[in-house]
Amino acid sequence: MIELKDLSQGFRNPELMQSLSQRIHQLSAQLSEPIKIMEVCGGHTHTIMKYGLNQLLPRNIEFIHGPGCPVCIMPKERIDHAIELAMLPEVILVTLGDMIRVPGSKGTLAQCRAKGGDVRPIYDPLDALEIAKQNPDRKVVFFAIGFETTTPMTAVLLELAEKQNVANLYFHINHVLVPPAVDAVMADGAAKVTAFIGPSHVSAITGSDIYQPIVDCYHTPVVVSGFEPVDVMQSILMIVEQKVQGIAKLEVQYTRVVTAKGNQAAQQKVASMFTLRPHFRWRGLGDIPLSSLVLSEQYRHRDAEIVFADALSDQAIEDHKACQCADILRGLAKPNQCRVFGRGCTPTKPMGSCMVSSEGACNAYYRYAGLAFDLDLNKDAAAKEATTDEAVTGKATTNEASINRAKTEKEITA
């Protein structure tokens, strides 16, 4: 019998990683200028850090971490909405697990629950339907988050609630879109991004064609990549090949799943239940027009922002001044450049959303690289050039992380 580990092993093969790394090194010598690659999704950031992929690249290729973590980009005022809803005696607030510890201006949902708010973490949106059925005398609010990947699941939940006449289920919609965020990064220009690694799970739903306007407008390569280390390294090689040839085009590395047009059945279901929200404020990127979704008119009777409008605050709230999540999400800073990283801000006591989420860049640095890790290639060229099996398999970075986390904990308790 074939086991799951057997299916993934080829995408983590050290020899193949070495071969890709060597080819990237060879071609990078022909580059006229450095490449700054933004991996849009936090899942890619975790792959890069876990397997030490940054150590396998030449010094003229740099990763810039992007705003592709739906928990990380949620502004404090939206978290406050969740807390305000949960504190209403008639409300049960359900949301995905990562949201529980994200701080708003009024604390976290975990702290809200400790104060008596009825907050229930779930891992399957359809659990919200069962909770609503089991509590007919309560109003159940599903605090929905995510990019295009998870929106179809919310659409299915809404469809079932309508068909089964579960009238006490409401939705606080925070579904956001990748292309407007990427466009905002490029339009700002501060991050100096010269290529993108696109998220494959989003693209499996939307199709890869959604990135073509970015390529055309900014003459910037976009390669849609899978999440295994071999996927990411092959995607980097595809970007380098484009740069050497002096071209910019959209390519799909993750051809085993992603197509140009995507899952059209899922797209149609989403389009039938949602419409574009005129404005949505992203943590770090600010207000981006037409970058998120809201329930369409026929479902507004389930829109928690309308039904509970009198209980919800309406004021933009900025992050803590010491927290640099905003700059990290814009690609202007690395996590270890934040002065509270690993000290005042840790996964067990996060100050910012990038440390909370399992897809957050700060979480990835803390988990796999530790406090002392420095991504400045000029400071440690030797480590950058390392192409050992340990770096490929993640053992080198993981061992280093253990040492650095021990140092960090000592500093915290000192």
Cβ-contact 37, 279 below 8 angstroms: no
pLDDT along the chain (414 residues), means of 10: 56 90 97 97 94 95 94 95 98 93 93 97 96 98 97 98 98 98 94 96 97 98 97 98 98 97 98 98 94 98 98 91 92 93 90 90 89 39 39 43 42 36
Phi/psi for 350 (5° steps) reads -75, 140
Report the length, in residues, of the chain: 414
pLDDT of residue 127: 97
pLDDT of residue 12: 84
pLDDT of residue 376: 39
pLDDT of residue 348: 86
Q: Write the CA distances from 401 to 328, 334, 347, 394, 395, integer angstroms.
A: 20, 16, 14, 10, 10
Phi/psi for 33 (5° steps) reads -155, 160
